Amino acid sequence: MKITEKMKDRVTLSFEVFPPKAEEGMPRLMGVLDNLYSWSPDFISCTYGAGGTDKGRNFDIIRAIAAAGRAIPVSHYTTIHHTREDIRRDIDQYLSIGVNHFLALRGDFAPGENETHGDFGHATELVEFLKKAYGDRICVSVGSSCEGHILCRSLESDIAFLRRKQDLGADYIVTQLTFDMDQFRRWLDAIRAAGVTMPIVVGVMPVLSRDACIRHCLSMNGCAIPHKLARHISTYYNDPEGFTEAGKEYTVEQIYEYVNCGVNGIHLYTLNKSEAMNDILARTGLFSKE
């Protein structure tokens, strides 16, 4: 069953994990995945590093999720260093182990690089190629920045590209993190007005660490720190434990707001930390643990 079919009946739950930097970290990640399975997630996605690094471990993790049979595995797939032949070979390899869900992205450049070094320069081209080559054999999700991608000239331009991805056959959206709920609502209204009808799975970054929170906003995504979050950072600036505890409540409230906006799925960026996910999800009361 495709993820989009599940979204017709309820708000889905999903998680994102990433490959550990060293092979020694793989057993720990397998333990994290076992914990996440207990929430009966609809899917679990796995990233790989900037410039295509850790791609081999990505495949190993995706294969392990598929073998467990407790969540649909979704592999990130980027344009970085990929020719058409590379893409066909890779997708065929995923299909051979029963994996047919992909998040199509341009991808992050490696330090010192500013181009993809592949046949495609943008995610739009990747979506077009995948859908022409594989059609309904695969389910393709696409990213979207609710505050506009940092390299896009305007939010309107960003939304136009999102509409183009839909026209090329993309199946659903997975948003980048945003803490500004007013901006999320404006973005939601704007994409619907632009004719974007794809289901929306919102990426939720838990508020667990002061420095990580600031870094995710400013140095990685170019997204705003709204007044409510700024007050949270200031209140617990020198109290790491207090920050984490109050941050979990902040995340729970954001999940409630997203659900009330009518989104189709909640996608938690786990940072490979299942304990915090357990606490946050239990506090929402919206999802059941086995």
**Is residue 238 in some structural domain?**
no
Is 236 part of a structural domain of the chain? Answer: no
Residue 109: CB atoms within 10 Å: 14
Position 274 in a domain: yes
Residue 151 maps to a domain: yes
Is 0.85 surpassed by the pTM of this model? yes
pLDDT score, position 222: 81
> Which residues of the chain fall below pLDDT 70?
51, 220
Q: Is residue 271 part of a domain?
A: yes
- Does residue 11 form part of some domain? yes
- pLDDT at position 221 is 76
Residue 213: its pLDDT value, please? Answer: 92
**Mean pLDDT, the chain, whole residue set:** 94
Domain that holds residue 263: 3-209+251-284
Residue 42 confidence (pLDDT): 98
The residues annotated with a catalytic role in the active site are: 16
Q: What is the pLDDT of residues 244-261, one digit of tens each?
A: 999 999 999 999 999 999
What is the structure's pLDDT at 90? 96
**pLDDT of amino acid 56:** 87
Residue 235 gets the label, from left (phi > 0), alpha (psi -120 to 50) or beta, of alpha
In-domain check, residue 198:
yes
Residue 256, domain member (yes or no): yes
Question: In this predicted structure, what is the pLDDT of residue 82?
Answer: 93
Q: Which residues contact 109 (CB under 8 A, 6 or more apart)?
A: 50, 51, 80, 115, 116
Q: How many domains does the chain have?
A: 1
CATH of the domain at 19: 3.20.20.220
